[in-house]
Structure 1
Amino acid sequence: MNDEEPIQNREKLVTLREDTVRFREDAVHLREDAAVSREQIICTANTEREASDGHLVFMREANAQLVISGIEAGRASQLKDEFLAMISHELKTPLSVILGWSQLILGGKLKQDDIRKGMQAIERSARAQNKLIEDLLEMSSMISGKVRLDMQQLDIVSLVSATVESMRPTAETKRIILQETTDREAGWILGDANRMQQVFWNLLSNAIKFTPSGGRIEIGMKQSGSFFEIRIDDSGLGISADFLPYVFERFLQAETSLARQYKGLGLGLAIVKQLVELHGGMVGAESPGINKGASFIVQLPLLP
């Protein structure tokens, strides 16, 4: 062995150690890279699974919404068909009376008293048909937002009292008592006189229509906080608990044998609600049940 061999061996040993260290470092790096790759694969898999789950949830919700939309579309179509059938019937009924009596009168064979009865029937039917058409036009204007209010300071007590007096002859023909109680100290609002008169005419005529002969209707007016409250209580047909939440809906009428005896499109109370809310007020209905009467309460903001 020469003198250079130990040195060469030491150099080889150092080189081997360095290679071993580098190998270990490379192995550590490889393990770290493998761990990172595993984490990335796991994250990607989780993300894909979450996306897949989210897609499934979205698809389920979309399918459920399609089913609901289909049901609603079917219901809307059914309501449209029912409405068209109802309006055709309601408009045709007074028209049939008008045509029938017109033909009898023009035939020239009726007595004078019968002619007079026929003319009265024609007038009543024409007024009824005119009211139906007015209600349809009124609701159409409200739905399209074309209602314009002529807002002025109104003595609401005087307006309601005048409406009550205008309806009194109609009530008297059915022997219905109209009783009015009023707090006359507070009754000024900002509103459209014609529209407000329409509101209370609709409510009173509705109460008279559904109150049997010999019944009673009470109209109370008072201040309630910053509002003026008008309450109309009748002893009439009443409203079932099931129908009460829908009493102000358009084109709806209670499906009772007695309620179906009365004509109309079911627009009167819907118009009342729209007009009251346009004045910044509220309207509600109460009833203990069928044949136990009903109450309608209108609240309108008082002038300061």
Structure 2
Amino acid sequence: MVAVPDGTTPPRALPLRGRVRGLPGGRATEPPDLRVSAVLEVLAGEPVAEVAVRWSVDVALLHRWVRAFTDAGTAAVTNRPEGHIARQRDRFLAAFAHEVRSPLTVAQGWVGLLLDDELPADDVRASVQRLHEALGRLAERTFDVELLAAASLGLLRPRRERIGVATLISSLPDAVPEVDGAVSGLAVEVDPELFPRVLRDLWWAASLLPAPRARRVEVGVDGPWIELRVVREGEPIPPAALQALFEPFDLGDDASGITIGLYLARALAVAHGGSIGVEQDDVQTALWVRVPLPQHDSGSTTPPRGDTP
């Protein structure tokens, strides 16, 4: 999260069952990237709306890809890369160092206690547990950065499985959230390890101060998309904090840490052919992620069937 206000618990680490799945053989053997193919079709003169439907991507997302493609090409042709690239690199390195240093310092402290012969036997187990938790946070932060690097290089390929939406919701931290609507029959085809991280980060973002009165999950089908919305009831999130959520790294007002906010969630949503966003008024905030319907269901008006937790 970009800002970590007092009383807000960072996202709980999810179990790491695997590593980043990169493409074998290096970049030279990669198959055509759908993003590049879609952009080239737009640049060749095809209507953006038609290309977006054909490739099952959001129109706004496709516009962003085209803009990024042309900006990068201009910088390469003129041999004048934008100055923000170096600043982003330095910011990234400083942020990553901070993210690693915090749990590493905690782990070193607990190791020091374990090496102390005067530590009571009853406290050894508790110390080992704290050490385990600190190392878990360290592994989680490292994995987040690994995912970001793979996504930015276009090397991230989600492993798609059919998963019930109710199962995804049940994986959220804290208590099982309030669910609005009948979702027991809805399913998506997503990576079972990566996509829950998107929903987890949206759920955590909805807990930003000022503390919400309640949080719930809404699920719906909108044309070729399934949309999961984490709705927070209460005072709106301050605009500056809301904008910073989508930046790659930032420092909380209380200097409690530098984290990746919803930047990774957005990268993972894009890797699934979807997008994330936020809508807010005076009484509620909705943080949403949208992914394509399973292909064999896209032509049907009946919601796709899935499993239940």
Shorter-chain TM-score: what band?
Answer: 0.5 to 0.7
Check whether the contact 1:228–1:301 (CA below 8 A) recurs between aligned residues.
Answer: yes
Rg bigger for which structure? 1
Structure 1 range deviating more: 244-253 or 140-149 = 244-253
Q: Which AA in structure 2 matches 1:296?
A: L
Instruction: Map residues 189-200 of structure 1 onto 2, 5 A cutoff.
Output: 189-200=188-199
**What is the aligned partner in structure 1 of residue 270 from structure 2?**
277
Structure having the larger proportion of residues in helix: 1
Distance 1:215 1:135, change over 3 A: same
1:36-185 residue pairs with structure 2 within 5 A? 72-73=82-83, 75-152=84-161, 154-164=162-172, 167=173, 171-172=174-175, 178-184=177-183
Instruction: Give SS of 1:217's match.
Output: strand
What is the Cα deviation at residue 204 of structure 1? 2.6
Q: Write the deviation string for residues 92-136 of structure 1: whole angstroms up to 9, x where unpaired.
A: 121111112211221111123433332222122111111110011
Q: How does 1:224-263 map to 2 (within 5 A)?
A: 224-234=222-232, 239-252=237-250, 256-257=253-254, 260-261=255-256, 263=257
* Unpaired stretches in structure 2, ≥5 consecutive residues: 1-74, 299-309
Could you tell me how far apart the structure 2 residues matched to 1:212 and 1:113 are?
39
TM-score (norm 2): 0.59
- The alignment partner of 1:194 has SS state of coil
Distance change in 2, residues 1:245/1:207 (3 Å): closer
Between the aligned partners of 2:185 and 2:209, the Cα distance in structure 1 is 30
Going from structure 1 to structure 2, the CA distance change for 1:200 and 1:122 (only over 3 Å counts) comes to same
Deviations 1:114-165 (A, max 9, x none): 333322221221111111100111111111111122234x24423323323x
Change (3 A) 1:214 1:277: closer
- Select the residue among 212, 220, 223 that pairs with 1:222: 220
Q: 2:259 aligns with which of 256, 265, 276?
A: 265
Give the whole-Å Cα distance in 2 for the aligned partners of 1:237 and 1:264: 24
Q: Relative to 1, partners in 2 of residues 1:100 and 1:150: Cα closer, same or farther, differing over 3 Å? A: closer
- 5+ residue gaps, structure 1, are 1-64
- In structure 2, what is the Cα distance between the partners aligned to 1:287 and 1:214? 13
Distance in 1 (CA, whole Å) between partners of 2:231 and 2:212 is 15
RMSD: 3.3
1-structure distance, mates of 2:96, 2:193: 26
User: Residues 72, 246 of structure 1: CA spacing in aligned structure 2 closer, same or farther, 3 A cutoff?
Assistant: farther
Distance change (3 Å), C-alpha of 1:89 and 1:196: closer
Asked if structure 2 preserves the Cα contact closer than 8 Å seen for 1:244 and 1:286, the reply is: no
Q: Measured at CA, do residues 86 and 281 of structure 1 come closer, stay the same or move farther in structure 2, by a change above 3 Å?
A: closer
Distance 1:202 1:89, change over 3 A: same
Percent sequence identity over aligned pairs: 22
